[in-house]
Amino acid sequence: MTLSTGQAVATIAVMAGVTFLTRLLPFLLFGRGERPPAIILYLGRVLPPAVIAMLVVYCLRNVSVASYPHGIPELIACAVVVGLHVWKRNNLLSIFSGTAVYMILVQFVFQ
């Protein structure tokens, strides 16, 4: 299925509008100088680790330790992500590095 130019422009415009709205909405709801409600602060504190945990479960759900390569590339990549995050505290660096290590392992080492 290919999109026409008009459909592509409309799709991009809708995505840009939704992105802008999600950034603007907190200021409209809570004002600039006001402190957000306690539930919003709580969600801001607990949701990021919960989302990361769900992503880990999703990424590792089909790993088979019973057959070659026995989950070794995934284990090494996870160790790289955790190690870099503990050391540098940089999410992007950890995730990109872990992804690169995993891709190198599955493409060149564990063929």
Model confidence over 62-104: pLDDT tens digits? Answer: 999 999 999 999 999 999 999 999 999 998 999 999 999 999 9
Q: Are residues 55 and 28 in the same domain?
A: no
Based on the fold, state whether residues 22 and 58 are members of the same structural domain.
Answer: no
Q: What is the pLDDT of residue 111?
A: 84
Strand runs (DSSP E) across 14-105, as ranges?
none
Question: pTM for this one?
Answer: 0.67
Distance of alpha carbon 57 from alpha carbon 54, whole angstroms: 5
Q: Give the residue, 26 or 54, on which the prediction is more confident.
A: 54
Whether residue 40 lies inside any domain: the answer is no
Same structural domain, 13 and 67: no
Number of independent structural domains in the chain: 2
Question: What is the predicted pLDDT for the residue at 2?
Answer: 86
Alpha carbon 10 to its chain centroid, in Å, reads 26
Classify residue 70 as left (phi > 0), alpha (psi -120 to 50) or beta: left
Q: Does residue 18 lie within any of the structural domains?
A: yes
Q: Are residues 65 and 101 in the same domain?
A: yes
pLDDT of residue 27: 84
With cut-offs at 50, 70 and 90, classify the pLDDT of residue 10: very high
Name the residue type at position 66: A
Residue 57 belongs to what domain range? Answer: 45-109
- Which of 42, 64, 68, 56 has the alpha carbon at shortest distance from 98? 56
* Percentage above 90 pLDDT, the chain: 78
What are the residues whose beta carbons fall under 8 Å from the beta carbon of 30, sequence distance 6 or more? 36, 37, 40
Tokens of 23: 């950034």
Place of tokens 């026409």: 4
| Mean pLDDT, rounded, for 46-50 | 93
- Predicted local distance difference test score (pLDDT) of residue 96: 96
State whether 68 and 23 are in the same domain.
no
